[in-house]
Structure 1
Amino acid sequence: MSILYLVGTPIGNLADITYRAVDILRTVDMIACEDTRVTKKLCAHYEIQAPLKSYHDHNKTQQTEYLIEQLQQGVSIALVSDAGLPLISDPGYELVVAAREQQIQVETIPGPNAGLTALMASGLPSFTYTFLGFLPRKEKQKQACLEQRMYENSTLIIYESPHRVKDTLKTIQKIDDKRKVSVGRELTKKFEQIVTNYVDVILSQFDDASIPTKGEFVILIQGAEKAEDTAWFEDMTIQEHVTYHINENMKPKAAIKRVAELRHMKTNEVYDIYHNV
């Protein structure tokens, strides 16, 4: 059996690829990629001759079986995404699981990552972070996800398209209009832009086009400050405690959940007490 290589590729600037990655791509028998048109440009730039095989979300079930058969027959394969690291908000998880189940060797060839690239230059806390990738598209589900995550003491990393970036920032603003965010676009390219400020200021920069809605976006959300002392709410009733958070611009559902977390109670118990059920 051969080796399945997971190869990191540039996220914008074609120079951001390692010597090892180029060497692997030149020597493997096959390259599995999301979009052959995108990978062809990289291969042409570095004179990589390996044949390309399409591997994406819509054909991964069939192609996983095919690629595993090829690996078992001694064909060496490199898996790449259109940009950055395979499997990180990109296809490949099922292939790696299948390869490991068949005792096929899997090697990672590190490379760039858009989320960490934006985090390094954002000026937001970087020691603890949570990668969320792409959020749900439906507003209700997206808001529920953010309401849960934005009260963690961890910088959040989100990928977003230019068509939805403003809507996602508005959702963040609904939850906490005093939260700092950072928006990165065109990372590693000529017109790279990374802007960090309060969410309402960032939205105004979209409105006046100082941040164009062009290119793929990374949104970073500063984590909630961890409370040093929780004794402040001990003399409050449940109703008073929930009302306090609502007055701090938190949605009632999120406020109830937050009170449950702080008091180590079940959410439905806090809900019943607050609503006098």
Structure 2
Amino acid sequence: MTTTRVGPLLRAWRERRGLSQLELAGRADSSSRHISFIETGRSRPSEEMILRLADHLDVPVRERNSLLLAAGYAPHYAHTALDDPSMETLREGIRQLLTGYEPYPALVVDATYTVVAANAGITMLLDGLPEHLLTPPLNAMRLTLHPEGLAPRIRNLAQWRGHLLHQMERQIALARSEPLRALYEEVAAYPVPERAAADGQQPDDSAAAVARIALPLVIEHDGHVLSFVSSIATFNTPMDVTVAELAIETLLPADPATVKYLRTLGS
């Protein structure tokens, strides 16, 4: 009998996606019998079959390499450091994108929310934070939820904190990431500033309209109340683990007052 370690891993991903063996077989142009043999280790899948199943199971690129290694194959996807010379075109593209978005805030984070690039709009929001939070590597979740970070400035912290923690919970459920789980446990344990715990820091009426279509981030800056809607983009069809795990977050002004204030700063 042929046995491989990849079978149980594929079964775990299938169950995580809520698919039966028959459903997965239909999507991957295979048979439920063959899927069963792969999962029980009675059959060693080809490299092409592993990648096909991983594609239909929406397995993250990093974990696709793990599946291949478990079956005795070489990794299919490169894992190139972002500061590698071969990544210069990508880095320049990111710089141009972030600069072009100014004066509105925008940043790029990796799979554990480490900030790899940010523009002047983000720097403006972080103005006045303690040095220990601004010492590289910066982490977007720590900066936002730490009681000495942006948390006391966020007018709707209860809602925004719940949104961020739920976002992390979904990511943990979709990908096996111990560093991400450790980060989640850290930031979820942060004490909530007294003001937020007492009154929930509800957003002003100016955010009510946009709140009907998306949860706004309502934050104070230098005596002004700013309102943003967050948008997150990823790279399409990445062939490198590093690129696959990058996310570009942009903060769209949610009201005319925020637009006017940011443009005034930008000028």
Shared fold (TM-score greater than 0.5)? no
TM-score, normalisation: structure 2 = 0.26
| Structure with greater helix percent | 2
